[in-house]
Amino acid sequence: AGSDEVKERLKALGADEVFTESQLEVKNVKSLLSNIPEPALGLNCVGGHAASLVLKFLRQGGTMVTYGGMSKKPVTVSTSSFIFKDLSLRGFWLQKWLSADKAKECRDMVDYLLRLAQERKLKYEMELVPFDKFHSALEKALGKHGSQPKQAEMTVVLSGSPRFGQGGESSQRVFGS
């Protein structure tokens, strides 16, 4: 899918604004973002240059949480970002969190997310794949299929799952890579 198509899909899911990495690298980027509050939280699953861009736009005292490293490049931060913007960096490893006696917290979180989906406040996108084509679905989920191998999409193998419609509002501003 092209970047315009992805932008439209993200807006349909509730995003207020969507920018590509190349849009954020132009010289007049501050004017492009002038009407948008600086985010307090940045989510990073890519690393490398994309993570540096996330950090660049965080507000004073902002935090970036890294939970993946698809680019296999290190996260680098300028000393001035730490000193003058007072940024914080955090790491999150789901497997460790789940194995740290967090079964009840995990169950509560899943119940909460399911409630949001039932109330149509949490939107998601899925693709129904016939069971006899499950190999194709697995390849896509593992990043071995498609023009962008590291797709952030949910692939559903079994059919019959409900597709939730529009609804719900989100006011949290999060910036991610």
pLDDT, tens digit (0-9, with 9 covering 90-100), for 33-70: 788 888 899 999 888 988 988 898 899 999 999 998 88
Residue 83 belongs to a domain:
no
CA distance 84 to 86: 6
Q: Could you report the per-residue pLDDT of 113-147, keeping only the tens digit for each? A: 899 889 988 877 778 888 888 888 888 777 665 44
Residue 1 has what pLDDT? Answer: 61
Which of 172 and 125 is assigned the larger pLDDT? Answer: 125
Minimal CA–CA distance to 55: which of 25, 76, 26? 76
CA distance 148 to 133: 20
Residue 136 belongs to a domain:
yes
Which of 87 and 16 is assigned the larger pLDDT? Answer: 87
Residue 144 has what pLDDT? Answer: 61
Tell me: pLDDT of 24 over 90: no
Residue 53 belongs to a domain:
no
Tell me: pLDDT of 148 over 50: no
β-strand partners of 37: none
Residue 71 belongs to a domain:
no
Same domain for 133 and 111: no
Tell me: pLDDT of 105 over 50: yes
Domain carrying residue 102? 97-122
| Contact (Cβ atoms closer than 8 angstroms) between residue 61 and residue 90 | no
CA distance 102 to 175: 27
Residue 35 belongs to a domain:
no
Total number of domains in the chain: 2
Q: Label residue 9 by pLDDT band (50, 70, 90).
A: confident
Residue 31 belongs to a domain:
no
The model's pTM is: 0.62
Residue 149 belongs to a domain:
yes
* Residue 141 CB contacts under 8 Å (≥ 6 apart), including other chains: 155
Residue 66 has what pLDDT? Answer: 93
Residue 133 belongs to a domain:
yes
Tell me: pLDDT of 168 over 70: no
Kindly report which listed range (47-61, 141-155, 162-176) carries the lowest average pLDDT score: 162-176
